A and B are shown apart, each in its own frame.
Chain A
Amino acid sequence: MDATTGTAPPRAAAAARLAGPLRPLWPFLLLLAIGLAMPLTGNEYWGLITTRMAIYWVLVAGLNLIVGYAGQLAIGYVALLAIGAYTTSVLAAGNVLPPLPAFAALGVAGLAGAVFGVVVGLPALRLRTFYFAMTTLGFATIVTQITLAWQDVTGGGIGIAGPMLPAPFDTTWGFLYFCLGFAAICTWLTANIARSRFGRALVAVRDAEVAAEASGIHKPKLLVLVFILAGALAAMAGGLFATLQTYITPDAFTFDLSLLFFIAVLIGGRGSILGPLLGTAILTVLPEIAAPLAAWSTFLYAALLLVIVLAMPGGIAALIDPRNRRNLPENRVIGPQPAALDALLGRREVPAPLTLRGIVLAFGGVRAIDGVDLEVTPGQVHGLIGPNGSGKTTTLNVISGYYRPEAGSMAIGPAPLPAGKPQGRAGLRIARTFQTPRLIGEASVLENVMIGGTTDGRTGFAEALLALPRQRQEEREFEARARLALEAVGLAGLAEARADRLQHSELRFMEIARALMLRPAFLLLDEPAAGLSTEEIRRLGALIRGISRHGTGVLLVEHHADLIFDICDQVTVLNLGKVLAAGTPAEIRVHKEVVSAYLGA
């Protein structure tokens, strides 16, 4: 028997999701309790190790957003630790300016970290992965060299005393409690970001950059915000590190330390908070348990890194994530609920049509599209068909801004539609799907769909950081809208499932749900029926019809001729980049040239 997936989700699941990356909360509380209970052991050495763990975590918590969430391979973060440590120490010692109180120095270090966090991060906006990894590595090297060379300020190789915090934080246990408290706050802050639209956008940039752009996510702005946060946290961790060490020299900031931070995130697992936290704890403690491990710690870290990447790409997080074990029902059926479209799309004022005039685009001398005219009318389904290489998907990519045409114009009603600028399309309510579904495999289906609404977010980064009421309200609205969209496409029962566990056909419908999140005025569908069964194609057809009847103009690129002739109001046929014919399905169906172009007769 079929298990219908169109039923409403249980309330408990919805509540659990809102706890986001801190769910379940008890492991975090347990770790904190262990830390707080340390003085009971009376063992100051382990107190110091716990303090160091907390300090490392302050840095890793921020780095986690960059490496684990945004997928940027920043391997030289020890540089920011050093910057923070030296800034705090130098300011507190007063060998350049009048001495500052330790907390003020720590605050200034945070600011310096924010600035340098952006400096280190900027190349990521332009460079590919390996290049970026190299630049962070180079940055780490030169920071160490500067600390050595700038003797007047940093004390060079001799070093400088770390700042002393005022009472009651000037004892081993007082300092431990301070660091634990600070680490707890950092956990909370980064978890807030992780579960906000910013966190989802970071993951989208990592796993589905093109879809992220189409959803209106502005990658540079997003990354800069996160670089600021991570840089500030790392530098403040550096200040605390200097206090812990009591005396710092450039030798304290080895590349091995950088590696520890980086690998802690990867061992922990991407897109998790608890995983990297455990990773940090394990990597900090491991060399302390057995003396031989200390000498070989880097070797161990590297071996762990290799094993994790090759054998356990999900890291610790994958082991502890219950979504991996829960079985999805077999024989599930995608049952779109057109009724949900009423609630989702509602009555909207009908926008003006989307028009293309004389679009020309060539790749390396070959004209992929050669003077295409097209008009997508709101409330109608417009089919775009033609043989392979006739320019269908290219036309779609011109509309959604990925390609700049060499000639021709686009407009929505009287307003010209600027060429290029794919991130701007979501703001104009132009949504799209892709030939190959672009998804975030590690995120839930619900989160994947919520990506589509990013551009409607009104609350800022700071509000998300502190999880202020307005931001939480907005999140609830996003979630409700995403659940409606999932209901509309018939995937409501799979909202909590990890997206990479879905079948191919379900991913196609999930992409449509993501596009519907935008309440689109225009919806561009790129071969949505590819790989679907006959029954699924029929339901897809009904869904597309339903969407268009709520006022959305749909442009449908498709190979399945029966689907095109079934649901389209207008059909344009492309051949060799030119419009071969345009008209109603009935006209096209009997168009001699079309039949021969299509059949190749």
Chain B
Amino acid sequence: MPISAPERSLLEVRGLEAGYGKIAVLHGVELGIGAGEVVALLGPNGAGKTTLLRALSGLLPVTAGSVTFDGQALTNASPRDAARAGMVHVIEGHRVFTQISVADNLELAGYDLPRGERAARIEEALAFFPEIAAKRRDRGGALSGGQQQMLAVAQGLVRRPKLLMLDEPSAGLSPVLLDRVLGVVRELCAKGTSVLLVEQLIEKTLAVSHRVYAMAQGRIVLAADAKEEDLPHRLERAYFGEDVPTALHA
């Protein structure tokens, strides 16, 4: 089935394998993201979504395959190099630094940037989240879980990424937060930033996405257009296997 090919390729992943020690998690992942595209990455627990994001951003060593980003080979680059190249990974679990202030959290996100530039970028990132801009003097630990997640996303924005990878921004938080994050995704998309989004809440995610990849057991099992009619059924089959009667089929 033809899938609308992106105009200009930003990220190309070929035959990617990675895992933790002896446990191979990713088995030959193939994936591509175009410039300015919002791509949802779906899949059941343990499918390898987080592992894939970590392998892409250099947090986990890649054992085979290649990652090309913006024409540059980024296979097994350090997270720092990936971030400098414009691929920024906002990890799961709103892990901001609780001991230092909100402003300092953002300063650290722009560690390499010249001082003046950094200040401007921080203001730019905070503009997306007025509620945490008001708390910039507070310690990271004083924020609510949702605010911490906004801060984590804002940290990602300070780098002015070409590709922003968000890992389950709503996990353990209220669905309202996802709306806020998805609003930001829309704005970023309008400005030409690509987004790779891992989320459990599928319907809302699909609403902002152009394309969808689904993973199961360390492989990409489905690549489709986000607006496709039959998508829920195809997803369910991809997760649960082909021939079981299901709630959605019934």
Q: Which residues of A contact B (CB under 8 A)?
A: 366, 387-389, 436, 503-504, 507, 527, 530-531, 559-562, 565, 589-592, 594-595, 598-601
Determine how close the nearest CB of chain B comes to the CB of A379; give it in whole angstroms: 25
Partner of B23, one of A531, A559, A598, A600: A531
Q: Are B246 and A595 in contact, with the CB atoms below 8 A?
A: yes
Determine how close the nearest CB of chain B comes to the CB of A395; give it in whole angstroms: 15
Expressed in whole angstroms, the Cα–Cα distance for A207 and B129 within the complex equals: 47
Partner of B247, one of A366, A559, A562, A595: A595
Q: Are A600 and B22 in contact, with the CB atoms below 8 A?
A: no
**What are 11 inter-chain pairs, A to B, with CB distance below 8 A?**
A388-B200, A503-B22, A561-B241, A589-B244, A590-B245, A590-B247, A599-B202, A599-B232, A600-B199, A600-B201, A600-B202
Determine how close the nearest CB of chain A comes to the CB of B96; give it in whole angstroms: 15
Q: Are B247 and A589 in contact, with the CB atoms below 8 A?
A: yes
Q: Are A531 and B24 in contact, with the CB atoms below 8 A?
A: yes
Q: Chain A residues near B25 (CB, 8 Å)?
A: 531
B63 within 8 Å of A (CB atoms): no
Most buried by B among A436, A562, A591, A599: A599
CB nearest to B47 among chain A residues: A559
Q: Chain B residues near A436 (CB, 8 Å)?
A: 23
Expressed in whole angstroms, the Cα–Cα distance for A387 and B248 within the complex equals: 19
Beyond A388-B168, A589-B244, A590-B250: 10 further Cβ-contacts under 8 Å?
A388-B45, A527-B46, A559-B46, A559-B47, A561-B44, A562-B241, A565-B240, A590-B247, A595-B236, A600-B201
Most buried by B among A507, A589, A592: A589
Q: Are A561 and B22 in contact, with the CB atoms below 8 A?
A: no
Determine how close the nearest CB of chain B comes to the CB of A357; give it in whole angstroms: 25
Q: Chain B residues near A591 (CB, 8 Å)?
A: 247
Q: Which residues of B contact A (CB under 8 A)?
A: 22-25, 42, 44-47, 168, 171-172, 199-203, 217, 232, 235-236, 239-241, 244-248, 250
CB nearest to A591 among chain B residues: B247
Determine how close the nearest CB of chain A comes to the CB of B14; give it in whole angstroms: 23
Determine how close the nearest CB of chain A comes to the CB of B98; give it in whole angstroms: 11
Partner of A389, one of B22, B47, B171, B199: B171
Q: Are A530 and B247 in contact, with the CB atoms below 8 A?
A: no
Q: Are B172 and A559 in contact, with the CB atoms below 8 A?
A: no
Q: With A562-B241, A595-B248 as given contacts, are A601 and B22 in contact (CB-CB < 8 Å)?
A: no
Most buried by B among A504, A594, A600: A600
Q: Chain B residues near A560 (CB, 8 Å)?
A: 46, 217
Q: Are A600 and B240 in contact, with the CB atoms below 8 A?
A: no
Determine how close the nearest CB of chain A comes to the CB of B60; give it in whole angstroms: 15
Most buried by A among B24, B199, B235, B240: B240
| 8 nearest A-B residue pairs (beta carbon) | A559-B46, A600-B200, A504-B22, A600-B202, A595-B247, A531-B23, A559-B45, A590-B247
Q: Are B246 and A387 in contact, with the CB atoms below 8 A?
A: no
Expressed in whole angstroms, the Cα–Cα distance for A530 and B24 within the complex equals: 10
Determine how close the nearest CB of chain A comes to the CB of B169; give it in whole angstroms: 13
Q: With A389-B171, A389-B172, A562-B241 as given contacts, are A530 and B246 in contact (CB-CB < 8 Å)?
A: no
Q: Are B24 and A559 in contact, with the CB atoms below 8 A?
A: no
CB nearest to A594 among chain B residues: B247
Q: Chain A residues near B171 (CB, 8 Å)?
A: 388-389
Determine how close the nearest CB of chain B comes to the CB of A393; give it in whole angstroms: 11
Q: Chain A residues near B46 (CB, 8 Å)?
A: 527, 530, 559-560
Determine how close the nearest CB of chain A comes to the CB of B21; give it in whole angstroms: 8
Q: Chain A residues near B244 (CB, 8 Å)?
A: 565, 589
Q: Are A387 and B247 in contact, with the CB atoms below 8 A?
A: no
Q: Are A598 and B44 in contact, with the CB atoms below 8 A?
A: yes
Expressed in whole angstroms, the Cα–Cα distance for A97 and B71 within the complex equals: 87
Partner of A530, one of B23, B235, B250: B23
Q: Chain A residues near B200 (CB, 8 Å)?
A: 387-388, 600
Q: Chain A residues near B202 (CB, 8 Å)?
A: 599-601
Q: Are A366 and B23 in contact, with the CB atoms below 8 A?
A: no
CB nearest to B203 among chain A residues: A601
CB nearest to A500 among chain B residues: B22
Expressed in whole angstroms, the Cα–Cα distance for A527 and B44 within the complex equals: 14
